[in-house]
Structure 1
Amino acid sequence: MSEFDPAPGADNDDAFQRWQADTDTFDRVYDVVLGVTTPTTYRVIAERADCSANAAKKHLDRLTEMGVVRKDEQSRPARYERDDGYLEWQEARRIARELSVEEIIDRVADLEAEQQTYEQRFETADPESVTVFELDDHEALHERMQAVSEWQATTRDLRLYELARQLAQNDGHLIPA
């Protein structure tokens, strides 16, 4: 299991103590939940955020209402994970603020051309349908895996820049007011 935890760990006591002292409970819970990559109980998040389980649950439920976090209520106890759609939305908003509409449109055109190149190369419109393990040659296998990974990144970036274009053209809204 690979986890990214933006909260400083106990192995770095100075950073952890500064984070703990300079950050309120809500922000610590927010930092921790954005770092988890798998559904996690509120008790584990509370431990990492250095707060009570009740405080973590309260803040996680608030973050769920805000759309930052998803809650799996079928599991007992409930498990929480970041909503990657929220992170994509934030990234698209950042792009829309930092670039002009023309720069975004140019980037979308470049990404569309890259995507078309991958589609022609692999003779499919879906990178998930490309089989990478049918090759015997290790270098060819590695090259194909890297190409598919880059294609997936291009697809993600295209989605982000297209969303950013809509936001930039509509004064921060998806559709014209």
Structure 2
Amino acid sequence: MENARTVSVMNVGKSAKKLFWFALFLIYGYGLVKVILFKYGTVDAAVLGRQLQLAVDNPEHALHRLSFGNFTPLESITRNLQRLSNRNDAVNLFGNIAIFAPLGAFVGLLTRMKWLGAILVAFLVSLSLECAQIVFSMGTFDVDDLILNTLGGLLGYAGYRLFTLQH
């Protein structure tokens, strides 16, 4: 009987820990959407609704916004590397990596996915946010953001794996 109680307490502790990490993941997800879509302004669902309605009513508006995007891999990355002394370029380069690193760690913490799964999740979340910028007219599409964000997710997953191997 004592053994069953110990296992039950351990399972409750494990569930509480998963719930804690999931709650932290939701907070991170909110912050990610806020920074990517709203930059540093307030999150406003009404604004999203109006922007979505604009995209539905005028699909050519979204197509026009796509013309401002970067679809050439490494173009923005190269430009940012050449101008690292410019604070905005450095923030764009390293910020895109840093903001997705927690996503990779959360993939490790909350799922049983391996490396490829972590890469795929980071890529798909990044692609969704890049496309959302077009639909909601809140930024421009940049293929290099996909590359940097996916790299960030991969580095976050690698950090998670290194940490769990040591403990």
The TM-score, its normalising length taken from structure 1, stands at 0.25
State which structure, 1 or 2, has the greater radius of gyration over its C-alpha atoms: 1
Higher relative helix content:
2
Flag the structure with more relative contact order, 1 or 2, with Cα contacts below 8 A and sequence separation at least 6.
2
Higher relative strand content:
1
